[in-house]
Amino acid sequence: MFAPVARRPLSRRTLSRRTLLRGAGVAMALPLLERFAPGALRASDGRGPGRMVCLCATLGLHQPLFTPEGTGRGYKMSPYLEPLARHRDDFTVFSGLSHPEVDGGHSSEASFLTAAPDPASSNFRNSISLDQYALDYLNPDTRFPHLTLGIAGPSLSWTRAGVQIPAQNSPSKLFEALFLDGSEEQKQARTAAITNGRSVLDVVAARAKRLHDRSPAGDRRTLDQYFTSVRELEQRMQASEAWVTKPKPRVDYKQPEDVKDRADFVAKQTLMYDMMRLALQTDSTRVITLMLSGNNLVPPLDGIDVDWHNLSHHGKDPEKIAQLRHIELEEMRLLAGFLDSLADTPELGGGVGGRLLDSTLVLFGSNLGDASMHDTRNMPMLLAGGSALGVKHAGHLAFDKEDHPPLCNLYVTMLQALGVETDRFATGTSTLTGLELG
């Protein structure tokens, strides 16, 4: 929604670079903005829409329990992969991969989908995230171009200008946005807000255009980025008006109540996974990111008496690792439940596969390879689904953690599976060796 904006003249002093980036942030700071756009997110052969879900567990996953023994399709399941046994042929697990020049411990979560270097530095500037890059090239004809979600805190998604898109952390509000139409008064208020926002943009754009004409080349490049952000928001606002009066889909699911216990990550993640499955099933969106944030609280699980963050810094203490295993196994069971729900949901009519999972790429991993040491190398990663998009899963692909292709090569593979014609993304320079598309 738009807050009232004071319409003061924009001088060279007031239209600073910081202001421009803040403007770009406004342009992308509406993750639940309804819109209609031509085209669709499609598989490379045009068979129908593909989908992408990106998940990051920010407190890591204990590598000895995650990484399987052996390589290729004949690997031995690790304890953390056992809950996913039903989907063994539907995913590839990776070891040894990381983002070059991304360090900084917990700060590295900002670079999980961007690979932007040095996230802990004082002058860090992020770049566009994988999900937003895909949307730059592909216009899904869905009510929501993307959903940017979190459990409690920030999101994984960043705009082209390096501005973080706010996360929706409330399953109840997400359900309302997806499936509740609202009263006529609410619809009129939404339309009025869109119209007012477009009027504000008209004034800002006109004044910025005048400044552009008398600015040096470097400033003009910055202003061009700003204009692009303004145009994108104008298009989304125009499209939003078309969706305001269109009925939302009906689902056999009661609007959930948000979980009040901040430590109960199982209940929180369960609700968010349910909302994500419903959003994909109703084709309300085709691109979702979810940050699975840990915290400094003690989860309400039997046998756990130390807070999660403390356990992640176990220092190889067997008692802490035992408790951490209990927590992280629950995370893996929740992921397995989400994959189960996609596998048990038929593809929409005219889609590319028999199951929703077949047309959906599900990326799961962590920004930390060894959370206990704040090490960002050898990130635990897996990619599930996407067989109808041409992904040929390969079991366990193991790379040398000191000499390996960048993780973004996997992201290039994902983009190509979705129909984006590119050989590069961030540090990625090709598709990932060993993971073929057919």
Residue 100 has pLDDT above 90, yes or no: yes
Residue 341 C-beta-side C-alpha neighbours within 13 Å: 18
pLDDT band at 401 (very low <50, low <70, confident <90, very high): confident
Report percent pLDDT > 70 for the chain.
76
Residue 157 has pLDDT above 60, yes or no: yes
- What b-and-e string marks burial along 63-102, b requiring 16 or more CB atoms within 10 Å of the CB? bebbbbeebeeebebbebbebbeebeebbbbbbbbbbeeb
In three-state secondary structure terms, 24 is: helix
For the stretch 293-339, pLDDT in tens is 989 999 999 999 999 999 999 999 999 999 999 999 999 999 999 99
- Per the structure block, which two tokens stand in for 388? 């109808």
pLDDT for position 374? 92
Query: Can you name the residues that pair with 355 across neighbouring β-strands?
Result: 346
- Residue 201's nearest CA partner among 230, 242, 170 is 230
pLDDT band at 132 (very low <50, low <70, confident <90, very high): very high
* 49-53, 174-178, 207-211, 372-376: segment of lowest average pLDDT: 207-211
Strands, DSSP E only, in 371-419? 381-384, 391-392, 396-398
pLDDT for position 35? 34
pLDDT for position 138? 82
pLDDT band at 236 (very low <50, low <70, confident <90, very high): low
Residue 137 has pLDDT above 90, yes or no: no
Strands, DSSP E only, in 248-400? 287-292, 360-365, 381-384, 391-392, 396-398
Higher pLDDT, 183 or 181: 181
For residues 14-33, average pLDDT: 33
Alpha helices per DSSP H over 115-216: 130-137, 171-179, 184-213
Strand pairing category for 396-398 and 287-292: unpaired
pLDDT for position 181? 82
* Distance, CA of 200 to CA of 180 (rounded, Å): 28
* Distance, CA of 194 to CA of 241 (rounded, Å): 7
* Distance, CA of 395 to CA of 436 (rounded, Å): 12
Residue 2 has pLDDT above 50, yes or no: no
pLDDT for position 301? 98
